[in-house]
């Protein structure tokens, strides 16, 4: 017996937990409980993906694919890998976090066949490094898109980066590209995508 891929559907948040009957707890209660800490690394990473998705016009009626080889595909067909970092964290800090972004190649797992690739690679066309740059704990608000900077690199630029193939620091990133704001992000991704095979 085989089992086909279960296609997720967008929920509206009003769906209740059920035990013999509907309980007074809904999916939106779960969302509030589980992802309200937008500064935590895991949640901030998903938020960064959502922010980029809105900037490039991804269809938000199709749920995020947890296991895809890259984070997003734009309406133009550009495959996008998204990384996030922040100076401030949810935990106690003696100093601001040093900024670096993971760029390590990964194995690709194909959900349609349940087969994993044997060779690590970068599967996106473009990398978007999202920096929540606020350093003031009183003012930090990940929903305020003016608090973010976006650094975009073609995958060729990442592959040609000599210092490390595992991560890139902010200083190194700024030598390769300049940051853009939210409203410039879509165009910057298109520009960087065109740089592939030109470097």
Residue 81 has pLDDT above 70, yes or no: yes
pLDDT of residue 115: 79
Indicate the domain borders of the chain: 37-195
DSSP category for residue 88: -
Return all residues near 23 (Cβ < 8 A) that are at least 6 apart.
Answer: 16, 17
Average pLDDT over the chain reads 94
Question: What φ, ψ does residue 21 adopt, rounded to 5°?
Answer: -150, 170
Note the helical H segments in 57-137.
none
pLDDT bucket at 199, cuts 50 / 70 / 90: low
pLDDT bucket at 168, cuts 50 / 70 / 90: very high
Residue 85's nearest CA partner among 98, 95, 104, 103 is 98
Residue 113 has pLDDT above 80, yes or no: no
Query: Which pTM was predicted?
Result: 0.93
Q: Is the dihedral of CA 58, 124, 173, 177 positive or negative?
A: negative
């Amino acid at each position: 017996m085989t089992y086909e891929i279960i296609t997720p559907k967008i929920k509206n948040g009003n769906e209740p937990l059920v035990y013999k009957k509907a309980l007074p707890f809904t999916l939106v209660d779960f969302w509030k409980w589980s992802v309200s800490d937008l500064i935590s690394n895991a949640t901030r990473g998903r938020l960064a993906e959502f922010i980029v998705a809105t900037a490039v016009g991804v269809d938000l009626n199709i749920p995020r694919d947890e296991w895809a080889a890259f984070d997003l595909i734009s309406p133009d067909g550009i495959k996008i890998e998204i990384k996030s970092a922040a100076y401030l964290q949810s935990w106690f800090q003696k100093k601001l976090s040093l900024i670096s972004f993971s760029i390590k190649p990964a194995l690709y797992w194909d959900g349609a066949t349940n087969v994993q690739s044997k060779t690590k690679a970068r599967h996106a066309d473009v990398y978007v490094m999202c920096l929540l740059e606020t350093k003031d704990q009183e003012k930090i608000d990940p929903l305020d898109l003016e608090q973010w900077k976006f650094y975009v690199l073609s995958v060729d630029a990442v592959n040609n980066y000599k210092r490390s193939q595992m991560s890139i620091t902010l200083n190194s990133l700024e030598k390769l590209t300049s940051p853009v704001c939210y409203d410039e992000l879509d165009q910057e991704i298109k520009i960087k995508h065109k740089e592939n095979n030109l470097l």
